[in-house]
Structure 1
Amino acid sequence: MFTMAMAMAYSKKYPFVISLVLLVLHFHASSAAMKGGYWFREIRIPSANAAQFSTFTQTVQQKNPSVKTLLSIGGGASNPSTFSSMASQASSRKTFIDSSIQVARSNNFHGIDVDWEYPSSLSDMSNYGILLREWRSALVSEARTSGKAALFLAAAVFYSSSYHSLPYDVQALSESLDWLNVMAYDFYGPLWYPNRTAPPAALYAVNHSAANQVSGDIGIRAWIGSGMAANKLVLGLPFYGYAWRLLNVNNNGLFAPANGSAFAGDGSIGYNGIRAFISQNRAPCVYNSSAVSNYCYSGTTWIGYDDVQSISTKVTYAKTNKLCGHFVWHVGADYNWVLSQTPYQTWG
């Protein structure tokens, strides 16, 4: 399974190419948000993007009628406390669930994807499991009443089965979700790992220190070890990287001394921006086969990212380990659709 995400906020800056849907099974439209009072959280699509959401399924099915679409809810920019408050009460969970189904159906989506980043207490984790069980029950009931195929239910989850030592309710997730999108990226970034360069989405751990080992493979193995079936796990592939500021331009490898971000904000940069940086600066590019990650550098700027070779290797990993598939975040950050075509070409 190959899933792509399209962030509607980027759709004008990075025009959507309809032919890409020939390469995927599922397409996500991101993101709907919760609105309302503290307890009663209803799903609403941003008014600025309402027209795009309402025609999303029709648009992507023009060249591939079999592609399925999902409405994504939440995301990294959403406030996790809104999820926490909603999930803590039966009444607000029902309002949230019912409105999500109504919005998905009225906009002709085939499923729903939830992205709570992240449940941050034991009660959050417990309530998340309850929410998903109730959601699944509501989807089954709605399908029976409407006579339509039940909506898919998927979730974007932390790279590992525990978030800061707080375990997900794996049984609830396994029984309630059709698949899990494992966010195997953002391991390192200049805001939270400012003193050394690092591979932001390493498939394998190559940390200079034995402490704090983190990688996509470690996360996938943790999920499987906790009881999640491999064929429910979808490996996340980022179409962006992070830029550090080198302390010494002559020391420019992995885990080189650094001083925070080379750019404003969190230092993130889309693959299209990375390709422009490489071209404008004639920046040397290096593929690290141990981490399965790429980096480039020029002057004091060092960027860790995924390119065609690392994306292809990760897709092969997903296929070899019999995972459900792979997803990307997000297609709007690609450069001439180079990365978008790689998973399809690799998986076969």
Structure 2
Amino acid sequence: MASTGVVKAGYWLCDSAFPVSYIKSSLFTHLFAAFADVNPNTYQVTFPTLHKHQFESFTQTVQIKNPGVKTLLSIGGGASGVASTLASMASKQENRKIFIDSSITLARENNFHGLCLSWLYPSTAVEMTNLESLLKEWRAAVEIAARMTTKARLLLTAEVFYSPDICSARARYPCKAISSYLDWIHVLAYNFYTPNSSPKETAPPAPLKNKRDVSLCVEASIDTWITAGVHAKTLVLGLPFFGWAWILSEPSQHGLFAPAHGLAPVVQHKSVDGSVPFAGVKKLIIVDQKATTVYDETYCTNYCYADRTWIGYDDLESIISKVTYARKEKELRGYSAWHVGADDNWSLSQKAFDTWDKS
């Protein structure tokens, strides 16, 4: 069952070039270092070579400003080939043991308080069954390790899709195992719309509500997980500190679901896939005097536009509505931000932190 305690979490992404020492750790109860690698041949968990020192000193560094913050090592991520490596690892007991043992050793040796599985995403029923075995064996292993070392048990968490069903319900997460073996899960309740999935019209990437399609929003996401049997206190709501950029077909039509021509290459913010960090969105708004910002109360989402560029994102208003919803309406375990390096002078992190305490 889930352990007690509120989660106000943030992820640090090693490839973001954001120094660990810059993290304002006083705004978080838990910080995640992302991502540790999994060797595709041996299934050993290791630190990325280029960022090895940052991972090794992560806990020590963030605890300078907040001695009470808990750190977790996130393993996997969305890079090419990672999902297939994790699927292969989970398919055999001997592979799972190598993965589990090496993850525990790496976390213990580098003073992490827990581990997070970032398998994006198991896509078949067989992979979900293997995930269940992995979670059961991982939980047993961290409990044995705790008894042997007389140290606190490592926390176990995972990042999950916004719905317990993936690929049109062909694959459902093992919800009973999640409830039994994990302390909590991070529900990635965003990317409901992107320029790739909705190329012909703008759309809210992570709306709290959605009157056009009630299944594609935060409310539906959380409800489906609870209906599937995962307790609210095992759910942590993912907050996206980034937006998605579309090219408007006509600058005069610039609302939600306006005609568009796919993703906008926001070159000035070094975007590759059309996503833009929140700090980049704010820079666009400030630098381009023609930029207009809108908060849509119906969808509880922000967007801005300038000439033919249209960006849907979360700003202070969206963060307030989502954190209030998570804390007051659904009584979730907490929230987690992806990722701290994308924030703009800690404005979203501060607002989420304050809103949780006030709601």
CA contact (8 A) 2:323 2:356 kept: yes
Say whether 1:312 aligns with 2:320: yes
Amino acid at match of 2:33: A
Conservation of the 8 A alpha-carbon contact between 1:16 and 1:332: no
Determine whether 1:269 maps to 2:276: yes
Identity of aligned residues (%): 46
1:24 matched to which residue of 2?
Answer: 28
- Equivalent residue runs for 1:123-138 within 5 Å: 123-138=126-141
Query: In 2, Cα distance between the equivalents of 1:332 and 1:118?
Result: 24
Secondary structure of 1:133's match? Answer: helix
The answer (yes or no) to whether the contact 1:34–1:41 under 8 Å persists in 2 is yes
* Matched residue, 1:204: 209
- The structure 1 residue matched to 2:332, chosen from 323, 328, 337, is 323
SS at match of 2:237: strand
Deviation at 1:176, TM superposition (A): 0.7
Alignment equivalent of 1:54, drawn from 48, 56, 60? 56
Pairing 1:185–2:190 present? yes
CA deviation string 1:81-113 (max 9, x = no partner) = 111111000110000000100111111100001
Measured after TM superposition, the shift of residue 281 of structure 1 is 1.5
The unaligned stretches of length 5 or more in structure 2 are 1-6, 266-270
Alpha-carbon distance in structure 2 between the residues aligned to 1:257 and 1:150: 52
**Residues 204 and 215 in structure 1, CA contact (< 8 A), matched pair in contact too:** yes
Output the CA distance in 2 between the equivalents of 1:287 and 1:329: 21
1:181-215 Cα distance to aligned partner (Å, 9 max, x none): 000111111112111101101111133xx5x8311
Match of 1:146 among 136, 140, 149: 149
Give yes or no for the alignment of 1:114 onto 2:102: no
Kept in 2, the 8 Å contact 1:197–1:244? The answer is yes
Aligned residue number for residue 8 of structure 1: 14
Corresponding residue of 2:223: 221
Give CA deviations for 1:255-311 in whole Å, capped at 9, x if unaligned.
111111111642100011101111122211000111111000011110000001101
Alignment TM-score, normalising by the size of structure 2:
0.92
Which amino acid in structure 1 is aligned with residue 194 of structure 2?
A: G
CA contact (8 A) 2:74 2:118 kept: yes
CA distance in 2, matches of 1:257, 1:171: 43
Query: Counterpart in 2 of 1:64?
Result: 66
The answer on whether the counterparts of 1:140 and 1:150 sit within 8 Å (CA) in structure 2 is yes
Cα drift, residue 343 of structure 1: 0.8
Q: How does 1:74-85 map to 2 (within 5 A)?
A: 74-78=76-80, 79-85=82-88
C-alpha contact 1:155 1:179 (8 A) present in aligned 2: yes
Partner of 1:241: helix, strand, or coil? Answer: strand
CA distance in 1: counterparts of 2:21 and 2:196, whole angstroms: 30
* Structure 1 unaligned blocks of 5 or more: none
Q: Which amino acid aligns with 2:32?
A: H
Shift of 1:36: 4.4
Structure 2 SS opposite 1:221:
helix
What letter corresponds to residue 315 of structure 2 in structure 1? Answer: D
Q: Contact 1:189–1:266 at 8 Å: present in 2 too?
A: no
Displacement of 1:63 after TM fit? 2.2
Pick aligned residue for 1:299 from 303, 307, 310: 307
Structure-2 separation of matches of 1:276 and 1:63: 27
TM norm structure 1: 0.95
Distance 1:334 1:259 in 2: 28
